[in-house]
């Protein structure tokens, strides 16, 4: 079984190595999309003229295979693995030619007339085709000039200048290519309108056949290739986190549900006419037409609101709130929810709302209340973070709105969670002896966490220090009556680089230690022998009720790992990751003693019984490691469950598998008060040849800072 596990993990690592060495090159095409043509521009009979379209002129900065990304006004980058499938100047020229040909404006449209003389010539001068990656949203930027000249004449009759930027509603380059295609065709339509007007009247002004507005329509169709000739795509952008936004639903003309989808992810549906209902409580709708091989992108006409409720010490508070809107003197409730506590793994709900003013009330108050309420004005395509502050009785004392784009860009994806916890602690464990021991004590924790999560990077660090003082039974209350029963410091660091969405390379470095010398207290006096690693006597104690078993810092435990991380589940209420790769573990011991065996000394003529404690040797293990990390949130129980299972399969013969399993259940009871139940299992034959069980339950009071 172990051999099979090793082969599996080695196979995963091999696949990782292959993926690292070979990164496929993506090639992007711009095919002609007849669905975006303007019927009013089509001529029943061609006008008595011909047009030669000259090859597009593109500056060297952009006339290359690689897609260009601009990161500032003066800095661009060329994407080595994302390239145009054909020469860009050929693609642009061919697209423009096909659009003008389809409008039947001229008797002949061609790029080469041979010995014939065209009536007119058209120049295409592309100044910019690039993705702009600075600002609130990435953008597609196209700047192009179209010139009309008399055939064989260098004198320009008129020029159409176009310089457009269009927001991209997702991070993929597919959206960029779609937008560039659409903008080129849009400007070709404008120029076609001007040519028709000029040939008919001698004036290149538009005939109002098409709109010249640079702002895209609220419904704009963008080209993308989809498998099948009878389906198209519909896409509603996500303004926040798709996992926290309500789904949208597509209905046919008979009001039957055809499909539902997540914001930020396109779905395929058959060609036809549909109604999309979306937003919180599905209060918004849109009638759309889906065409074959075409993506319909619904540009947001809604805004997003995230509600965060805290107390006057900035600690998160769980309170029910309701969102109202007065639509033409008709009060509408968009629903209610409880504020979320992110420290418990809960993600705040994103409300998707039509433009307007909204009233948010607390504690079950109605729309007409004059207490415990605040108002928010929502505008399209903006994200608002509403922070509500309450007092000790959960009554509102203040509220304010922060727009998402007003948050420092450097903080994007970076979250901190820091707390000091006071704990009423019940413990039961058999770490030092097979017999279970129990105690009740007060303890404290310093819990600090940070997460950086911006695809493809994910980094988490967690440091936890826990200290507990327990009064020794039978001792008078003084400085010597307390024992440090828990003195644990741990730090865990994990970095994951995702080369595709669920699959990535991870590396980790963990450490565990303590700060105070370790002592073992006995219920009754005992005789103890302490021997070093080679068995030589270090100390002998007679009738003692306490022995020193470790100095400060030691044992010092370190762990490192490198391998593949597979994200099995990622949702609002559940996350699960499976990891496998190479693992290293070290335990550094210096004057660290553990129970060895009972011994009898008869050298004095009578038997003296001792408990022998032997100094532990430092250990160094390496092998294949496997981990399963999961987090589950059960909102209606205010419960979060976190589990971590680590296994190391050593390479060295004779060494057994080590196991560490940690399970933590957190139940939120009151503001800043929760109950934690922790159940850990540890097995390492080099330390104790039995399964160590460590059970703790806490009543925890937290202060977040």
Tell me: the pLDDT tens digits for 104-138?
A: 999 999 999 988 999 999 999 999 999 998 777 78
Helix 88-102 to helix 173-201 angle (10° resolution) is: 50
User: What residues form DSSP beta bridges with 701?
Assistant: 422, 673
What span, in angstroms and rounded, lies between the C-alpha atoms of 260 and 247? 7
Average pLDDT over residues 203-226: 42
Q: What is the per-residue pLDDT across 447-486, written as a single tens digit (0 to 9) for each? A: 888 888 888 899 999 999 988 877 665 566 665 667 787 8
Q: Which of 667, 665, 622, 662 is nearest to 641 (CA)?
A: 665
* CATH of region 231-298: 2.60.40.10
What span, in angstroms and rounded, lies between the C-alpha atoms of 177 and 142? 11
For residue 345, give the DSSP letter. T
CB 245 within 8 A of CB 237: no
Half-sphere exposure of residue 338, counting CA atoms within 13 Å on the CB side? 15
CB 279 within 8 A of CB 354: yes
Average pLDDT over residues 288-311: 87
Q: Which residues of 466-481 are buried (b: 16+ CB within 10 A; e: fewer)?
A: bbbebbeeeeeeeeee
555 vs 221, residue with greater confidence: 555
* pLDDT band for position 675 (cuts 50, 70, 90): confident
CB 564 within 8 A of CB 500: no
What span, in angstroms and rounded, lies between the C-alpha atoms of 82 and 337? 43
- Domain ranges in the chain are 30-218, 231-298, 303-407, 411-521+551-590+617-704
CATH 3.90.280.10 fits 303-407, yes or no: no
Q: Which residues of 284-315 are buried (b: 16+ CB within 10 A; e: fewer)?
A: bebebebbebbbbbbbbebbbbbbbbbbeeeb
608 vs 425, residue with greater confidence: 608
CB 657 within 8 A of CB 637: no
Instruction: Tell which CATH classification among 2.60.120.580, 2.40.160.40, 3.40.50.1370, 3.30.1330.120 matches the domain 411-521+551-590+617-704.
Output: 2.40.160.40
For tokens 């993990």, the residue is 9
| Predicted local confidence at residue 225, as pLDDT | 38
Q: How many residues does the chain have?
A: 705
What span, in angstroms and rounded, lies between the C-alpha atoms of 648 and 625? 4
Half-sphere exposure of residue 653, counting CA atoms within 13 Å on the CB side? 0
What span, in angstroms and rounded, lies between the C-alpha atoms of 481 and 479? 6
**CB neighbour class for 334 (10 Å; exposed up to 12, middle 13-18, buried from 19):** buried
| pLDDT above 80 (res 335) | yes
* pLDDT band for position 221 (cuts 50, 70, 90): very low
350 vs 318, residue with greater confidence: 350
Contacts of 185 by beta carbon, 8 Å cutoff, 6+ apart? 33, 36, 95, 99
Same fold, 231-298 and 303-407: yes
* pLDDT band for position 347 (cuts 50, 70, 90): confident
| Predicted local confidence at residue 544, as pLDDT | 93
pTM of the entire structure? 0.54
What span, in angstroms and rounded, lies between the C-alpha atoms of 2 and 537? 39
What span, in angstroms and rounded, lies between the C-alpha atoms of 666 and 345? 10
682 vs 443, residue with greater confidence: 682
Q: Which of 125, 139, 11, 111 is nearest to 54 (CA)?
A: 111
| CATH H-level, domain 30-218: superfamily | ABC-type transport auxiliary lipoprotein component (3.40.50.10610)
- Helix H or strand E encompassing 197: helix 173-201
Q: Which of 104, 172, 164 is nearest to 140 (CA)?
A: 164
For tokens 């440091």, the residue is 463
| Predicted local confidence at residue 420, as pLDDT | 86
């Amino acid at each position: 079984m172990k051999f099979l596990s090793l082969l599996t993990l080695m196979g995963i690592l091999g696949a990782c190595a292959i993926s690292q060495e070979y990164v496929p090159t993506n090639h992007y095409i711009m095919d002609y999309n007849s669905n975006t043509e303007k019927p009013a521009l089509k001529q029943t009979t061609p006008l008595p003229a011909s047009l030669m379209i000259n090859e597009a002129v593109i500056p060297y900065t952009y006339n290359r295979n690689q897609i260009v990304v601009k990161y500032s006004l003066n800095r661009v980058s060329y994407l080595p693995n994302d390239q145009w499938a054909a020469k860009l100047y050929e693609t642009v020229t061919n697209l423009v030619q096909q659009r003008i040909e389809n409008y039947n404006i001229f008797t002949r449209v061609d790029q080469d007339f041979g010995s014939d003389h065209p009536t007119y010539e058209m120049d295409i001068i592309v100044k910019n085709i690039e993705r702009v990656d600075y600002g609130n949203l990435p953008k597609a930027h196209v700047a192009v000039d179209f010139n009309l000249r008399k055939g064989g004449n260098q004198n320009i009759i008129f020029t159409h200048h176009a310089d457009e930027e269009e927001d991209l509603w997702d991070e993929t380059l597919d959206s960029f290519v779609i937008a560039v295609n659409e903008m080129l065709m849009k400007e070709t339509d404008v120029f076609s309108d001007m040519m028709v007007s000029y040939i008919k009247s001698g004036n290149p002004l538009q005939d109002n056949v098409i709109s010249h507005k640079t702002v895209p329509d609220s419904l704009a169709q963008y080209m993308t290739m989809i498998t099948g000739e009878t389906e198209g795509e519909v896409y509603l952008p996500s303004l926040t986190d798709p996992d926290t936004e309500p789904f949208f639903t597509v209905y046919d003309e008979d009001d039957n549900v055809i499909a539902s989808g997540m914001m930020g992810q396109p779905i395929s549906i058959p060609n036809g006419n549909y109604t999309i209902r979306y937003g919180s409580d599905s209060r918004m709708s849109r009638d759309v037409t889906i065409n074959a091989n075409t993506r319909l992108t619904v540009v947001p006409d809604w805004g997003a609101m995230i509600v965060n409720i805290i107390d006057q010490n900035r600690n998160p508070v769980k309170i029910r709130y309701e969102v109202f809107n007065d639509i033409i003197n008709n009060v509408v409730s968009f629903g209610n929810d409880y504020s979320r506590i992110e420290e418990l793994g809960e993600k705040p709900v994103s409300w998707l709302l039509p433009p307007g003013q909204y009233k948010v009330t607390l504690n079950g108050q109605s729309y007409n209340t004059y207490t415990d309420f605040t108002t928010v004005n929502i505008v399209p395509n903006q994200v608002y973070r509403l922070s509500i502050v309450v007092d000790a009785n959960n009554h509102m004392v203040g509220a304010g709105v922060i727009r998402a784009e007003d948050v420092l860009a450097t903080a994007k994806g970076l979250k901190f969670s820091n707390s000091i916890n006071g704990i009423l602690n019940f413990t039961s464990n058999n770490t030092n002896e097979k017999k279970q021991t129990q105690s009740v004590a007060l303890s404290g924790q310093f819990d600090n966490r940070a997460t950086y999560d911006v695809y493809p990077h994910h980094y988490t660090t967690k440091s936890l220090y826990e200290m507990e003082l327990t009064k020794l039974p039978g001792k008078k209350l003084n400085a010597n009556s307390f024992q440090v029963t828990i003195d644990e410091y741990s730090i865990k660091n994990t970095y994951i680089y995702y080369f595709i969405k669920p699959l990535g390379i991870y590396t980790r470095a963990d450490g565990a230690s303590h700060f105070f010398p370790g002592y073992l207290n006995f219920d009754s006096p005992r005789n103890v022998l302490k021997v070093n690693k080679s068995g030589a006597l270090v100390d002998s104690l007679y009738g003692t009720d306490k022995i020193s078993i470790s100095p400060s810092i030691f044992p010092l435990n370190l762990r490192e790992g490198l391998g593949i991380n597979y994200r099995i589940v990622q949702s609002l209420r559940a996350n699960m990751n499976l990891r496998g790769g190479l693992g290293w573990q070290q335990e550094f011991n210096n004057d660290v003693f553990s129970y060895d065996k009972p011994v009898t000394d008869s050298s004095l003529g009578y038997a003296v019984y001792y408990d022998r404690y032997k100094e532990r040797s430092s250990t160094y293990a390496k092998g294949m490691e496997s981990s399963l990390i999961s987090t589950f949130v059960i909102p209606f129980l205010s419960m979060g469950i976190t589990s971590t299972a680590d296994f190391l399969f050593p390479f060295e013969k004779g060494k057994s598998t080590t196991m560490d399993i940690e399970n933590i259940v957190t139940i939120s009871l009151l503001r800043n008060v929760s109950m934690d139940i922790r159940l850990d299992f540890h097995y390492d034959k080099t330390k104790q040849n039995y399964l160590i069980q460590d059970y703790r339950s806490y009543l925890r009071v937290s202060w977040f800072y």
